[in-house]
Amino acid sequence: MDRNSAATASAVAAFAFIYIIVIGVLVAFTLWVYWRIFAKAGYNGALSLLNLVPGVGPLICMLILAFGRWPIEDQLAALQGGPLSPTVPPSSPGTSVMPTA
């Protein structure tokens, strides 16, 4: 191996090392962002690990977030006493709930 090809090989190796580090940081950042989004939506943050599935992982995450019923929506409906709430929230002090006939 001559001097020129050795220098080229070391430059390519250095570039590959830096490239792998940058890609690893981007993947870790993406997982962290999706973890926070899932946690704020009321899902388990570990669903962000679906992004590690090549090709379909990010699509599955987006479909879950776009079309799934968010657990936080169920909690909000329960607090507001909406039609989807399985239990009636307690009434405030000084008021009574009268059954309707």
Q: Are 34 and 51 in contact (CB under 8 A)?
A: yes
User: Is a pLDDT exceeding 70 seen at residue 78?
Assistant: yes
Please state, in angstroms and as integers, the Cα–Cα distance from residue 86 to each residue in 53, 74, 76, 96, 101, following that order: 36, 9, 12, 20, 20
Between CA 38 and CA 35 the distance in angstroms is 5
pLDDT confidence of residue 1: 58
User: Is a pLDDT exceeding 60 seen at residue 15?
Assistant: yes
pLDDT digits (tens, 9 = 90+) for 25-48: 999 999 999 999 999 888 999 999
Domain residue spans of the chain = 3-80
Outline where the chain has alpha helix (H). Answer: 3-41, 57-67, 71-80
* 52 SS3 class: helix
pTM given for the model: 0.64
More confident residue, 31 or 89: 31
